[in-house]
Amino acid sequence: HTDVTMPSTSKTDLPHDRVWNFSAGPSVLPQSVLEEVQRDLLNYKGHGMSVLEMSHRSKVYGSIISDAEATLRRVLKVPANYSILFLQGGGTGEFAASYLNLMASRAVREKQQKLGKPLACDYIVTGAWSKSGLKEVKKLGANVNVVLDGVKSAATGETAYSGLPPVSKWNLGKPEETAYVYYCENETVHGVETPANFVVDAVDPSVPVICDMSSNMLSRPVDVSRFGAIVAGAQKNMGPAGVSIAIVRKDLLERDESDPEVTRNLPSVLDWCYFDGAASMPNTPPTFSIYVCGLVFKWVEKQGLETMEKIRDERAKMVYDIVDAYPEFFHGLVDKKFRSAMNLVFTLPSADLEAKFIAEAADRNMIQLKGHRSLGGIRVSLYNAMPVEGAKAFAAFMKQFYENNHRQAH
């Protein structure tokens, strides 16, 4: 038996000596966006300074942030009765912000008053990030109802984050007793992605659904009107780290301002109304991150979300086809119905083989493939800006690695 020749990508095969970056975030950005940033870095559009140096109160920056918001509104078809907010604190900050802002809203407070006891906050736990969201609101004193926490294996009886149970098994609260339902649509660590509309179809429309879309935002069309709020850190599909985005239905921003109790425990930096009232700039925003996001939004707009979805499915299929062809070697961790097209996770027969796989991939300029520290294995992140060629090159590497190593795995 002789080894199959492994193709080596010398760095010069890719423009600017770049690598295939499969990082889970911060992650790959569109090359055309990076080139535009580079061109304008020292002197933005003839204004004699970089966006990095620009006052957020200047007219030119005002047009950058309002243009970014307008582009995102067009791309996602965000209805007029929703606000788009540029925030800081990442998806983690929004764990607390979602709870604190919803509980301060007039609609939720009136509903609670009518019920005569604290409303429940429903949490759908499908992996590490929704689990962190649940932990955060428990810390803040929320009256939590866990709708589901992973899936119980019929074979072993053990619970794992490998998908979602049928809706008939969910423990949703009664609509009149529920403040909101929270879930994370794509679990970056565990590689579980909830199909579009799966949750909103299951929840009574009178209950606002809060969705963390940090790692699949802009990768497929979404009907924003079915959500109370969508929150997302930018550093996966939208831009560099440092900015998070909330798209919030305006009725949830209405409050009884005369009652100081309403916002007593709501810090200004987490207060959606504080940002909404100042066009996302009550204080200095992450100016450069928002600028780059605006360029990414335009890049997505040129293609459209239907095309983004087609490409995302094509990329994911290339890799999953190899996983499915050699399941005894590439062991997928997620039920096929819920496999993420953004973060693809699998293990190899041994830790040694995984280390070899990661090292040989790095030799071929494919980097950031190690699974999350809590899970191990391999994680391949295929975000919007990853060209189809990157997924194709990785799938070819997987196949050849299998050819060279599967005999020693037995």
Catalytic residue positions? 129, 212, 236
Q: What are phi and psi of 339, to 5 degrees?
A: -70, 135
3-state secondary structure the chain: CCCCCCCCCCHHHCHHHCCEECCCCCCCCCHHHHHHHHHHCCCHHHCCCCHHHCCCCCHHHHHHHHHHHHHHHHHCCCCCCEEEEEECCHHHHHHHHHHHHHHHCHHHHHHHHHHCCCCEEEEEECCHHHHHHHHHHHHCCCCEEEEEECEECCCCCCEECCCCCCHHHCCCCCHHHEEEEEEECEECCCCEECCCCHHHHHCCCCCCEEEECCCCCCCCCCCHHHCCEEEEECCCCCCCCCCEEEEEEHHHHCCCCCCHHHHCCCCHHHCHHHHHCCCCCCCCCCHHHHHHHHHHHHHHHHHCHHHHHHHHHHHHHHHHHHHHHCCCCCEECCCHHHECCCEEEEECCCHHHHHHHHHHHHHCCEECCECCCCCCCEEEECCCCCCHHHHHHHHHHHHHHHHHHCHHHC
Which residue in this structure is represented by tokens 């007029």?
80
298 alpha-carbon distance from chain centroid: 19
- 103, HSE (Cβ side, Cα atoms, 13 Å): 23
